[in-house]
Structure 1
Amino acid sequence: MNVPDRMLVGRRRLMQGAAGLLGGLPLAAVLADPKLARAAAAGLQDVTIEVPGHGQAKAALALPAAESAPAVMLIHEWWGLNDQIKTVAAELAQLGYVALAIDLFDGKVATTPDAARAQVQGMQDEKGKAICGAWLTWLETAKVDGASRANGKLATLGWCFGGGWSLQASLVHPVDGTVIYYGRVGGTPEELKALKGPVQGHFAEKDQFITQSMVTAWTRSMDMAGQSYEVFWYDADHAFANPTGSRYDEPDARLAWGRTTEFLDHTMRSW
């Protein structure tokens, strides 16, 4: 897939402000406070690329202090690219990653379940795959102010709607690691053979949407495909890692995030 080398950067804000904010508080505390999350999200750069056949695609970019680093592409929940996801990107930049939070809903952010459901139903798989593939291609050679920032190591990370797309993105454009938070999983063994790196999944035992039978069927296919994966189950409900929701489970969210960062560190920094 051809992606223009040129990127259009909107607000150019330095990450120091967001880094200072996150550096003094736990990620969960920032995510749970709309004002703090908004301040952290404001430190990201708006990025736009052209996706052949689908027009422009937008994302929010957070850069680490290092001049060259592995990259993580974040995919939002059914709400859209909101301050919560951007704040996680800022946290990942602090941890030393080029973090790109992509937008699959053309700037729309829902505030009610009905509106969020409509966004998901209006999403075309072909367009989603094209956008994910284009951004991953861009991240392989990402340049900011003319200098390369990503070192070629890539991972995807998504929650709920974005969790399913984290897997789909890694099938469209194989990456070094894939993280799924309670997202829809599936695929035949033949389809899953396209995966390049290991997969880590976080699922909730009380989830009525992403059920244990769905995940079990997927892991069976992963085994048949000879793929590497690890699955963690939590005594929690769907969206347990979202501090702004009613199902938030702080201990499990903290445990899952620790496992996520350990997985990324091992996968992206082991040569």
Structure 2
Amino acid sequence: MKVIFLSFLSLIMSVFVQIAPKKTEPAQIPLCHTSGNDMSMLAANKEFQLMHVEPVAFSYESKAGSMITFPTPDGKTASGFFLKSKNPSDKWLLVYQEWWGLNDQIKQEAEKLYNDLKDVNVLAVDMYDGQVASRREDAAKLMQGAQQDRLQNIMKGAIAHAGPKAKIGSIGWCFGGMLSLQSAILAGKQADACVMYYGRPVQDVDQLKKLDTDVLGIFGSKDKGITPEMVNTFQENMKKAGEKVTIKMYDADHAFANPSNPVYDKQAAEDAYKLTLNYLKGKLKA
């Protein structure tokens, strides 16, 4: 009788287990594009999108540059707008685009730097694999969809294209400002200079310790995307990492240095360019 009772009790318990509600883990709020890049979440933010008024359409015909391709470590190829030094040089400047892509405005900026720096190879790297946006909605999608692995492979390919003896500087704006800092970290001992205009900074101290160059950071105090608080944290983390950073904060908004942006601040942009040029000339000496 005892055996029958225990069997019956076991049957009841098994049925209860099957019909009882299963304990579930707390719901996880999905992170926006965790497989993307460090600015994916910003790109998805409507307020951040509205900071970028659609640029004025214009075409730029280069006098010295042309498009090239180079291999990347993931077995693919990447492209860029290349301006070769008139005299043989192991000095290189990698130029990183805004979220619009490698458009004529970035090519124009690359050629301006090329003419002013002299005897420096300048490569404006195409981080979107040929895609360019003229509407902010499209630019947001491109920046959200840019995968971190691919971005790193393109940067590594550009560094390798410069060659193992190259001394490399980098510069970028917005999305490219973030990439400029990441590029300098990837370049290791080859990194000679790094300029980042209002880009999301790397905040990981261990990553910042890998820098082999100081950094010039140019930001706007009115920027609601890359905020002064974020910049202050970056300064603190650079100090913790034992790295040197020079921060110039202008009374300006995001993308203030882009002439096609209605919030363009001519005075601040010209001052920032002088600061940038003096810094790069001092670092990328012949």
Superposition TM-score tier, normalisation by shorter sequence:
0.7 to 0.9
Higher relative contact order (CA 8 A, sep 6+): 2
Structure 1 residue 34: Cα displacement: 2.6
Structure 1 residue 120: Cα displacement: 0.5
Residue 186 of structure 2: which of 166, 172, 178 is its match? 172
- Aligned-pair Cα RMSD in Å: 1.8
Contact 1:186 1:214 in 2 (8 A): no
Q: Calculate percent identity across the aligned residue pairs.
A: 33
* Structure (1 or 2) with the larger CA radius of gyration: 2
- 2:131 paired residue number: 108
Query: TM-score with structure 1 length normalisation?
Result: 0.80
Query: TM-score with structure 2 length normalisation?
Result: 0.76
Contact 1:54 1:127 in 2 (8 A): no
Show structure 2 runs of 5+ residues with no match. 1-54
Separation (CA, whole Å) in 1 of partners of 2:130 and 2:56: 22
- 1:34 paired residue number: 58
Residue 74 of structure 2: which of 33, 53, 62 is its match? 53
- 1:155 paired residue number: 169
Task: Confirm whether residue 92 of structure 1 aligns to residue 92 of structure 2.
Answer: no
Contact 1:44 1:62 in 2 (8 A): yes
Alignment of 1:215-254 (within 5 A): 215-254=231-270
Contact 1:207 1:237 in 2 (8 A): yes
- 2:159 paired residue number: 136
Distance 1:263 1:251, change over 3 A: same
- 1:210 paired residue number: 226
SS at 1:266 equivalent? helix
* Aligned length, in residue pairs: 228
Structure 1 residue 136: Cα displacement: 1.1
- 2:206 paired residue number: 190
**Equivalent position amino acid for 2:184 in 1:** S
4+ runs deviating over 6 angstroms: none
Show structure 1 runs of 5+ residues with no match. 1-30, 142-150
Separation (CA, whole Å) in 1 of partners of 2:171 and 2:161: 16
SS at 2:222 equivalent? coil
SS at 1:39 equivalent? coil
Contact 2:83 2:123 in 1 (8 A): yes
- 1:78 paired residue number: 99
